[in-house]
């Protein structure tokens, strides 16, 4: 393994650690503020931090950009696509965060992390609607997913926890978020897209905050650290590390490393919040993690 790949993998491990521990920030933040208030603070900080990153990237670029007359229509189309990408991904981000931030009030950080990670299995399933053939390993992953969800979420009397159900719904939204990013990233600058994504998500969150929440400034300042961590570290720094790292890392390896987010989330929930999962729930986590890994392995090509 060369130095660039080793550095890239190390960055991805750090990213998965930041994202996993951010579940704790999301949970503890609810002790101070309501869901939409937390989301507003988080994504405003993400917008600012990524804006700084975007500015630094553009300032350090040494490429000269000369706009010819015949390129102007193309640039207008690109600008329109960039704004559209921010609107679409920002909406998915807002909706996914709404489900996740609400659901985490009624479940543990560890369970939330593992259930959320199922978007990795759900993404290829959405390919059915576009006529794509689903790989056998994905179907095997789906079977493991169903078994894992049963072990992790189904309680006595064959009932499912309210929070678990909401978090599970969020995993479908995150799958849509991933697919929208994949679609637009081929058409626009991903840094600008994410910058606008956080901007639009901040606007939607703020609107929802004033409609559904009762924001109190003293509560916001009291809970500044979890909001700051979720906004600057999870969104701003986490995204930047991922963006840099994946330039030197195989996509499959990157996905596998980022799957550790769920593991770090469970460890953080135990260490910081004293959350203890039962043997049945731990087994469910293991089966879900297996489902995520299986779904990401490429199948051998037929010679």
Q: In this predicted structure, what is the pLDDT of residue 285?
A: 85
Residue 161 has pLDDT above 70, yes or no: yes
Percent over 90 (pLDDT), the chain: 32
Which has the higher per-residue pLDDT, 91 or 261? Answer: 91
Could you tell me which residue, 96 or 298, shows the higher pLDDT? 96
Residue 186 has pLDDT above 80, yes or no: no
Whole-number Å distance between alpha carbons of 205 and 44: 9
- CA angle 175–182–170, rounded 5-degree value: 15
Which residue would you say has higher pLDDT here, 157 or 110?
A: 110
For the chain, where are the E strands, in sequence order? 154-155, 159-160
Mind listing the pLDDT tens digit for each residue in 60-73?
Answer: 765 545 444 444 55
Contact 153, 161 (CB under 8 A): yes
Mean pLDDT of 214-240: 92
Q: pLDDT averaged over the chain? A: 83
Average pLDDT of span 93-120: 90
At 232 the pLDDT is: 94
Q: What is the pLDDT of residue 46?
A: 92
Most confident of 169-183, 215-229, 236-250, 259-273: 215-229
Which residues make Cβ contacts (< 8 Å) with residue 167, sequence separation at least 6? 99, 100, 103, 104, 107, 111, 112, 115, 116
């Amino acid at each position: 393994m060369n130095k660039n790949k080793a550095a890239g993998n190390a960055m991805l491990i750090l990213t998965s650690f930041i994202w996993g521990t951010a579940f704790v920030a999301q949970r503890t933040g609810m002790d101070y503020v309501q869901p939409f208030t937390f989301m507003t603070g988080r994504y405003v900080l993400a917008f600012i931090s990524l804006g700084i990153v975007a500015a630094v990237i553009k300032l350090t670029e040494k490429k000269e950009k000369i706009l010819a007359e015949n390129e102007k229509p193309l640039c207008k189309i690109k600008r329109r696509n960039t704004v559209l990408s921010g609107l679409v991904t920002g909406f998915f981000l807002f909706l996914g965060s709404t489900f996740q931030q609400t659901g985490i009030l009624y479940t543990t950080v560890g369970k939330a992390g593992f259930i959320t990670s199922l978007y990795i299995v759900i993404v290829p399933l959405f390919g059915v609607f576009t006529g794509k053939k689903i790989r056998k390993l994905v179907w095997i992953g789906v079977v493991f997913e169903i078994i894992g969800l049963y072990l992790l979420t189904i309680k006595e009397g064959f009932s499912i926890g309210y929070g678990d159900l909401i978090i599970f719904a969020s995993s479908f939204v995150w799958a849509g978020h991933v697919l929208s990013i994949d679609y637009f990233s081929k058409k626009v600058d991903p840094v600008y897209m994410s910058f606008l994504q956080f901007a639009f998500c901040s606007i939607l969150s703020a609107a929802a905050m004033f409609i559904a929440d009762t924001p109190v400034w003293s509560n916001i300042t009291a809970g500044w650290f979890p909001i700051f961590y979720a906004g600057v570290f999870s969104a701003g720094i986490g995204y930047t590390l991922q963006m840099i790292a994946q330039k030197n890392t195989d996509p499959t390896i990157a996905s596998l490393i980022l799957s550790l987010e769920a593991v770090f989330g469970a460890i953080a929930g135990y260490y910081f919040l004293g959350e203890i999962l039962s043997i049945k729930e731990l087994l469910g986590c293991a089966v879900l993690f297996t489902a995520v890994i299986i779904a990401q392995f490429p199948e051998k090509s037929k010679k």
